[in-house]
Amino acid sequence: MAMEREGSQDIALALDPGNEDGTLSALRHAADDPEGPWQPAMIGTLLGKTTSNRVRNAAAVALADLNAPEGATLIAAQVARPEVAAASGTLLYALDRLGAALPLDAFLTVIEHGSFEARAEALELLHADRVDLADVRDPGAVLNRLESVLVSGSGDAVDAAAESLVVLAPRLSPGSASSGSRS
Amino acid sequence: MLGRWCYESRQLVFVIFEIARGDEPPFRGGWQSRRDRWHGLDRYPDFEDFCDWWHRKGKDEAGGNDLGSRAEAEAAYETWVDSRRSGKGA
């Protein structure tokens, strides 16, 4: 109980915009002290609550440096948030460092709402066969989301959506080896 | 059967769309390469070092936002090269 309260206080302090530089410094050194206060669960909480791109990026890199097994899930959950996808380049870099796959929904969110950098990182994962297609129940809806970007998007978004469609359409087609399973 | 036909038709539409845009069809030599996406930066042997610097230091110093375009990626790379020359690099 006392430890939980202590952790809450640490999180509150870490989320304080006035303490941003201190939080960044602590996250950068988290991997130097794996037994220290900055455990993956606490970094994951910070990752989900912070509104600072700098803190979110440092938290994701810290999870990668700690090589935390739960790190990939924590990071992917943030990438799937449209408001985060626009600044998810470093989250995807951290995911790559962890050797993890990106869930398809998060991938689509990056194509729809991501930055140039995030889309480039996501497409790298797609071409490396590291976008997880295991739980695709409605392949048509996936293709529809990408088609919508083709129609209403612009610039890099259209290029990324077109590239994604060309790669994903055959993989999601009925009877393909990867349809309905991890490719 | 019908489902398969629908998917294949859809794929054909995508390919026609890309060819109409003046791009090469995706079947020869792969689709848009990483080189195209990063505006040729990844041809440099130190591209991975640049990526490490960008995600661990450069982006933070630039305010924490992602690169918004190929031009911004090139500018960030130049910043990294300059910082290495002056001994401030990663």
* Model pLDDT for residues B15-47, shown as the tens digit of each residue: 555 545 555 444 334 445 554 566 677 778 888
Q: Is A48 exposed, middle or buried (0-12, 13-18, 19+ CB in 10 A)?
A: middle
A5 to chain B, minimum CA–CA distance in Å?
30
A129 by Cβ neighbours in 10 Å (0-12 / 13-18 / 19+) ranks as: middle
Tokens of A88: 């998810």
- The residue in chain A having the minimum alpha-carbon distance to the alpha carbon of residue B57 is A58
Please state the domain extents for chain A: 101-183
Angle at CA of residue A74, ends A141 and A57, nearest 5°: 105
- Smallest Cβ–Cβ distance between B7 and the set A52, A54, A173 belongs to A173
Residue A103: which H helix or E strand, with range?
strand A102-103
Enumerate the H helices of B1-90 as residue ranges: 2-20, 34-37, 47-53, 59-61, 70-85
Q: Looking at beta carbons, which residues of chain B come within 8 Å of A172?
A: 7
The pLDDT assigned to A34 comes to 81
Q: CB–CB of A116 and B72 under 8 A?
A: yes
A94 and chain B: CB distance < 8 Å anywhere? Answer: yes
What span, in angstroms and rounded, lies between the C-alpha atoms of A113 and A84?
9
Q: B7: which chain A residues are within 8 Å (Cβ-Cβ)?
A: 139, 169, 172-174
Give the ipTM of the model, two decimals please: 0.87
Residue A155: the pLDDT is 86
**A86, A156, A174 member nearest B4 (Cβ):** A174
pLDDT score of B15: 54
Which one is predicted more confidently, B13 or B52? B52
Q: What is the DSSP letter of B55?
A: I
Chain B nearest C-alpha distance from A80 (Å): 16
Interface test with A, best of B49, B59, B66 (most A CBs within 10 A): B66
Higher-pLDDT residue of B87 and A152 is A152
* Residue A68 at interface with chain B, using a CB cutoff of 8 Å: no
| Number of CB atoms found within 10 A of residue A141's CB | 10
Average pLDDT over residues B47-63: 95
CB contact under 8 A, A116 and B51: no
Name residue A171's amino acid: R
Tens of pLDDT, residue by residue, chain A (183 residues) = 444 555 677 777 888 888 899 999 999 999 888 888 889 999 999 999 999 999 999 999 999 999 988 999 999 999 999 999 999 999 999 999 999 999 999 999 999 999 999 999 999 999 999 999 988 889 999 999 999 999 998 888 999 999 999 999 999 987 765 554 433
For residue A73, give the nearest of A56, A95, A46, A54 by alpha carbon.
A95
Closest approach of chain B CAs to the CA of A3, in angstroms? 30
Three-state DSSP string of A62-80: HHHHHCCCCHHHHHHHHHC
Measure the CA–CA gap between A67 and A52, rounded to whole angstroms: 23
Give the pLDDT of residue A125. Answer: 94
Q: Residues of B with CB below 8 A from A120's CB?
A: 34, 37-38
CA distance B78 to chain A (A): 16
Output the DSSP codes for A34-66: TTSS--HHHHHHHHHH---HHHHHHHHHHHHHH
B77: tokens are 């790379």
Indicate yes or no: CB of A173 within 8 angstroms of CB of B8: yes
Beta bridge partners of A131: A102
Residue B44: predicted pLDDT: 80
Q: Å from A167 to nearest chain B CA?
A: 9
